[in-house]
């Protein structure tokens, strides 16, 4: 029966229960990500955001902290590595290095 509305999917994240292993491995390869202040400059300058509004480095970092693999894939799948985000980052994070590290790790897990 359709009432014209439905109940949204619960998006609760239990921070005590999430698996932090992927995050820790990324930190090991690219310790830069601990410097992030989630200001969003990277998302604002993103080259592909016109074509894919989910494309965002900041979202990817949040997703990886919460061990949300689909979230990471959504936010990084369109990345063209143009590097504008690293040029605007006020914290000087080497964003492209982080993105490549995440992709390489995901690829390793997939094998």
Q: Applying CB under 8 A, which residues contact other proteins?
A: 32, 45, 47-48, 50-52, 73, 76-78, 80-84, 86-89, 92-94, 96-97, 100, 103-104, 106-107, 109-111
For residue 95, count CB atoms less than 10 angstroms from its CB and return exposed for 0-12, middle for 13-18, buried for 19 or more.
buried
Of the pair 6, 55, the CB lying nearest other proteins is at 55
DSSP state of 4: S
Nearest approach in angstroms of CB 31 to other proteins is: 10
Residue 47 contacts residue 82 (beta carbons within 8 Å): yes
Shortest Å, Cβ 62 to other proteins: 18
Q: Which two tokens stand for residue 55?
A: 């494309």
What's the min distance (Å) between Cβ of 18 and other proteins? 19
């Amino acid at each position: 029966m359709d009432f014209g509305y439905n109940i949204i999917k619960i998006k609760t994240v239990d921070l005590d229960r999430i698996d932090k292993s992927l995050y820790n491995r990324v930190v090991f390869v690219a310790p830069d990500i601990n410097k992030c202040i989630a200001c969003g400059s990277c998302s604002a300058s993103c080259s592909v955001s016109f074509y894919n509004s989910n494309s965002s480095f900041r979202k990817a970092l949040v997703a990886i902290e919460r061990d949300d693999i689909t979230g990471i894939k959504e936010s990084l799948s369109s990345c063209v590595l143009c590097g504008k985000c690293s040029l605007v980052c006020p914290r000087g994070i080497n964003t492209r290095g982080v993105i490549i590290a995440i992709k390489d790790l995901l690829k390793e897990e997939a094998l």
